[in-house]
Structure 1
């Protein structure tokens, strides 16, 4: 069973998600250029809002070692000892990592750095747990060596440098760089802590192929948002006055790029998969409720300080289904502006008309319930009409709870 979220969202002059050249991202659909906001961009905003509401923050980082070291410094450790502890965490994790045949693989840091080779995603509380583990093995940690800038330890050998593991023994000078990193923390305990999950990890999934047992199959589909109509980039030439030399005219000038439009946004939550990931149906329903509200309210942060594009949705349509169903096809043919201008109202009419046609074409056997809330009058094809977004989500959760 799935709950689909369809949103029409009017966004004014903005650039919330830009490409490598600073331009708003685009896609071609129906032969016309549309402005696009990547799923990664909007998903991050939604994830952070869900975590804020649930009080379960996470970190996605290569700097696990630094994070643990900062915790330990805050507890009174010397900086060098704390850094050794952070690196010890990574070397212990590396002991359980998969290594491709014929290559180094692993997750341990490169020479002279404290950054892991992979991006971990863990609950923030995992940093404190790892620090607690380091406290239990402080004496062993403090006897290890830190690498110099060239990757060798203070005794002139590779010590805890990853190169000792990366390079095959053949071809190395005897006794030079032959030592593998010393494992001073119990690898199984480190691995258990790094496998911790949060509500958002269970919801969105986690991919870490290098670490057995760390992958989490997400329970959510999250589509890239795109405009329901054709768009073009708007170039803004701007200047900044030098307050101490106003007569010079400008201390800085440049060109920025922006776009605007009505976006179609779609996501779907597999309720069974999320319940399996979390292990409790009531907790899963709480996460879904929070996710629905966050999906409708959270906005990407890109250039928000210079555009303030913090708008609400124009229409939200929720559907409880046996299988997910995107309504993106409604906008394969770009929406044209109404007689008085504007794409929002024609877009709402288009999605209602398309939904009605799809239901007639496919039948409603897979549709268990649906409803909507909008800034204007109701659309019969979109199910029950609710006056507010809060009422719509509450009704959807009641229907979901009755069926789980």
Structure 2
């Protein structure tokens, strides 16, 4: 696909007291922006939440994993599909991966870094040796190395990427041939307003305390904040098609990403705060020039008003989008919006003026796919 198409996803979401993403002190991550301290959720945290949602909604063979234990994962599949025992499978798996030049980790059997790959890719590697596994296991180390060094193991990891790897990419610094350019970029989520770090002082009572005993069985503190967040991500459809090698699969991946990025949330301290919410607004903008993050709408922090911070944040987003497209002469090829604000009034009117008629989220995703199909056809 030669034509460049970017799918920008803009989200406004309010989260109650929570600690979604901890720093090295165990407190919610923060950042200074516009001269004030903001709540922050790292891109890595929300990408992991999105990947976890993928896994919950896809067959196991389509799952991906990021781990130092690729040898053990491959050995497990060899043992399941051949007559080899655990020790023989581990030895064969190590020899199959040895020609790749992956550095060994400090712990036996581990790699020095996390590798991101799909379960189906491991099954493709097993396919290379399944019929001759017993014969290979009977060879000495030198013979086995010679028999496996020319097998197309690297090619299996370079193709047939699962959706996760195609979207988020893979970086292996010392083996550039295994690198996959990410098709998606995810920004750090920032609160649209200033925040203050707060602490929950809690106690836990020992249920078996005798009546004459006093005091708590445990005390502690958890840092938290509450915030209305601006979240942003973008997908390069052209890169996604290149990574997956199939336009239909790329369209499936776009739809899955928009669905799960919007609905997912990091799980930090979720049992303490039950913080899961849905966005107040999701706006999708398809562009053929470049992706555009609209966080500049909140460089001046939003102040509390009668209509609430989320609604004010939505109005700011619409204004920033209209101002940016007008001043830069941009002409996005598709816009759509889903929001939960009152259907009548200034906010609904402003959002419709900027992004089009309000839609339900299912209609938004269906309409996005239909538009992308048409754009791909036009691109030839």
Q: Same fold (TM over 0.5)?
A: yes
Question: Aligned partners of 2:326 and 2:157: how far apart in 1?
Answer: 49
Question: Aligned partners of 1:397 and 1:182: how far apart in 2?
Answer: 48
CA deviation digits over 1:154-179, x for unaligned, max 9?
xxxxxxxxxxxxxxxxxxxxxxxxx9
Match of 1:154?
none
- Contact 1:122/1:195 (<8 A) preserved: no
Question: Aligned partners of 2:150 and 2:205: how far apart in 1?
Answer: 57
Q: Max radius of gyration: which structure?
A: 1
Match of 1:382?
354
Question: Aligned partners of 2:94 and 2:180: how far apart in 1?
Answer: 25
Match of 2:296?
329
Match of 1:308?
274
1:121 counterpart = 2:116: yes
Match of 2:284?
318
- Contact 1:93/1:187 (<8 A) preserved: no
- State the secondary structure of the residue aligned to 1:213: helix
Match of 1:352?
318
- State the secondary structure of the residue aligned to 1:18: coil
Question: Aligned partners of 1:281 and 1:68: how far apart in 2?
Answer: 29
Range with bigger deviation, 192-201 or 216-225? 192-201
Mapping of residues 285-296 of structure 1, within 5 Å:
285-296=251-262
Give the aligned CA root-mean-square deviation in angstroms.
Answer: 2.4
Question: Aligned partners of 2:227 and 2:170: how far apart in 1?
Answer: 32
Question: Aligned partners of 1:111 and 1:134: how far apart in 2?
Answer: 28
Any gaps of 5 or more consecutive residues in structure 1? Answer: 95-106, 146-178
> Which has the larger share of helix?
2
Question: Aligned partners of 2:90 and 2:246: how far apart in 1?
Answer: 39
Distance of aligned partners of 1:134 and 1:281 in 2 relative to their CA distance in 1, 3 Å threshold: closer
Deviation at 1:226, TM superposition (A): 0.6
- Contact 1:229/1:262 (<8 A) preserved: yes
Match of residue 86, structure 1, among 81, 93, 98:
93
1:264 counterpart = 2:230: yes
Distance of aligned partners of 1:195 and 1:278 in 2 relative to their CA distance in 1, 3 Å threshold: closer
What is the TM-score when the length of structure 1 is the normalising length? 0.81
Distance of aligned partners of 1:326 and 1:259 in 2 relative to their CA distance in 1, 3 Å threshold: same
Mapping of residues 125-136 of structure 1, within 5 Å:
125-133=120-128, 135=130, 136=132
- Contact 2:19/2:268 (<8 A) preserved: yes
- Contact 1:69/1:79 (<8 A) preserved: yes
Match of residue 343, structure 1, among 294, 297, 309:
309
Question: Aligned partners of 2:358 and 2:140: how far apart in 1?
Answer: 64
CA deviation digits over 1:328-356, x for unaligned, max 9?
0000010001137x411111121122222
Distance of aligned partners of 1:139 and 1:47 in 2 relative to their CA distance in 1, 3 Å threshold: same
Question: Aligned partners of 1:144 and 1:252: how far apart in 2?
Answer: 57
Question: Aligned partners of 1:242 and 1:134: how far apart in 2?
Answer: 57
Match of 2:193?
229
Deviation at 1:385, TM superposition (A): 1.9
Distance of aligned partners of 1:93 and 1:361 in 2 relative to their CA distance in 1, 3 Å threshold: same
Deviation at 1:2, TM superposition (A): 1.2
Distance of aligned partners of 1:43 and 1:333 in 2 relative to their CA distance in 1, 3 Å threshold: same
Match of residue 371, structure 1, among 336, 353, 360:
336
Deviation at 1:311, TM superposition (A): 0.5
Match of 2:158?
195
Distance of aligned partners of 1:89 and 1:243 in 2 relative to their CA distance in 1, 3 Å threshold: farther
Mapping of residues 3-402 of structure 1, within 5 Å:
3-55=7-59, 56-74=62-80, 77-94=84-101, 107-110=102-105, 113-133=108-128, 135=130, 136-141=132-137, 182=145, 185-196=148-159, 197-245=161-209, 247-322=213-288, 323-339=290-306, 342-364=308-330, 366-376=331-341, 377=343, 378=348, 379-402=351-374
What is the TM-score when the length of structure 2 is the normalising length? 0.86
- Aligned pair count reads 356
Deviation at 1:10, TM superposition (A): 0.6
Question: Aligned partners of 1:267 and 1:140: how far apart in 2?
Answer: 47
Distance of aligned partners of 1:32 and 1:183 in 2 relative to their CA distance in 1, 3 Å threshold: farther
- Contact 2:84/2:134 (<8 A) preserved: no
Deviation at 1:43, TM superposition (A): 0.8
- Contact 1:355/1:381 (<8 A) preserved: no
- Contact 2:336/2:359 (<8 A) preserved: no
Deviation at 1:184, TM superposition (A): 5.5
